A and B are shown apart, each in its own frame.
Chain A
């Protein structure tokens, strides 16, 4: 298998999080942790459109849950624009 190297820059916070999660999940290295994360991400983006949307809906809800409905959020945006 031909391998290609890709480098990336992380913020200090991301680097610290990567260090911690690599240890906690027992990855053999930070590179291995990033490879796994990347493969998982790419697999998610390759799902069928409805499955991908359902997955993304869950990710949105887990990362930043809120009680406000979509209608309320959009209307609040309109009010702000009208006040400007």
Chain B
């Protein structure tokens, strides 16, 4: 399975939620198995940091969590001018947050090259973009 990870899925790694263990298993599979691949935008690191800050985590723990994310086999796609320009087009044609538009544009820019199966997300906003983004939730993933 080859997936684009939306930031809330990464935040799940540092919280106790019903499916957070499944997310840990997914990252374990990405680290250990060649048939698994995970990528996201480098922007996701900022969104994860902000979410953890809002969750009341201290600075040292946020830094450790981010370092942990970078230790895994997740590919972080750079935010390029082209991606920003594509994000503007997504915002112009859909009612969507700027950050979500950036993820849609990043996903679209790598979906073919990286042979992605889907974007892993719980975010209902991405569901509305069915024609642009193939969204999968953790519960929809077959066994890891």
A77 to B47, CA, bound (A): 7
Q: Does B86 count as interface, using CB distance less than 8 angstroms? A: no
**How many of chain B's residues touch chain A, expressed as a range?**
35 or more
Q: Is the CB of A49 within 8 A of B71?
A: yes
Chain B residue with the shortest CB-CB distance to A53 = B24
Q: Does A70 count as interface, using CB distance less than 8 angstroms? A: yes
Q: Does B136 count as interface, using CB distance less than 8 angstroms? A: no
Q: Which residues of A contact B130 (CB under 8 A)?
A: none
**Which B4-23 residues have C-beta < 8 A from chain A?**
7-9, 11-17, 20-21
Q: Is the interface of A mostly helix, strand, loop or mixed?
A: helix
Which residue of A49, A60, A81 is within 8 Å of B14 (Cβ)?
A60
Q: Does A43 count as interface, using CB distance less than 8 angstroms? A: no
Chain B residues close to A by CB (< 8 Å): 7-9, 11-17, 20-21, 24-25, 27-28, 31-32, 47, 50-52, 54-58, 61, 64-65, 68, 71-72, 97-100, 122-123
Pairs across A and B, CB under 8 Å, 6 listed = A53-B24, A57-B14, A59-B61, A60-B52, A73-B51, A73-B55
Given contacts A70-B11, A74-B123, 14 further A-B contacts (CB under 8 A): A50-B24, A50-B27, A57-B16, A57-B20, A58-B16, A60-B57, A61-B15, A70-B15, A70-B17, A70-B51, A71-B123, A73-B51, A73-B52, A81-B98
